[in-house]
Amino acid sequence: MTAALVLFSGGQDSTTCLAWALDRCERVETIGFSYGQRHAIELDQRAILREKLAAMKPAWRRSLGDDHTLDLSALGAISDTAMTREIEIVADEKGLPNTFVPGRNLIFLAFAAALAYRRGLTRIVGGMCETDFSGYPDCRDDAIKAMQVALNIGMESRFVLETPLMWKTKAATWALAQATGGEALVNVIVEDTHTCYLGERGALHAWGRGCGQCPACRLRAEGFSKWKSG
């Protein structure tokens, strides 16, 4: 595995994936998307996180390449969700929360592949996970595998879509961070990654910053405490 593009939002999962890729690839570039999300704070953390990871190991600094940010505001404009509108986070009758942005990961992967094609990157790494997840259908392994097939046929390519967190619980994702970058990486993830749906970055909890009440904070906090007690 030599050259990869990491879907990097600045959250816990994508930061763990970035470290995972830096440990395995000679060249790693990152891509982030601005799609009219309510809180752009996550995107603000990206440059800070990239610099802190590069400072952790000389090999990581050598491998870390360009960052790309794409404006996908058209996605926000057609989405009526709690990620893109100031409305309460609720679940529908099937349990799917209204933070789900339909098609988001499929669109992200298509744009990532278009960029990877131009940049000569053959691996596309994303933090999608269907174990401890919010029920988003486009995070499921079958959706990612289907996208890999579609992209390779549609672009006459041989991309491999890597999802190192797919079968990991949130607790196991913390353990992967520890195994990849030790306590230093865990501390950076706690302090500098952003997960909270409400965009809150107030008090620092053991698991990081956030409101502690929204579904994203609860998943993150529960995973952290299970990892610590496990």
In the complex, which residues of this chain contact Zn ion (CB under 5 A)?
Answer: 196, 198, 210-211, 214, 217
Which of 155/198 has CB closer to Zn ion? 198
Which of 180/195 has CB closer to Zn ion? 195
Which of 32/210 has CB closer to Zn ion? 210
Smallest separation (angstroms) from Zn ion to the CB of 94: 23
Smallest separation (angstroms) from Zn ion to the CB of 31: 25
Smallest separation (angstroms) from Zn ion to the CB of 2: 37
Burial of 59 (0-12, 13-18, 19+ CB in 10 A): exposed
Which of 143/198 has CB closer to Zn ion? 198
Smallest separation (angstroms) from Zn ion to the CB of 87: 15
Distance (Å, whole) CA 212 – CA 201: 10
Smallest separation (angstroms) from Zn ion to the CB of 40: 15
Which of 175/198 has CB closer to Zn ion? 198
Smallest separation (angstroms) from Zn ion to the CB of 207: 11
Which of 20/100 has CB closer to Zn ion? 100
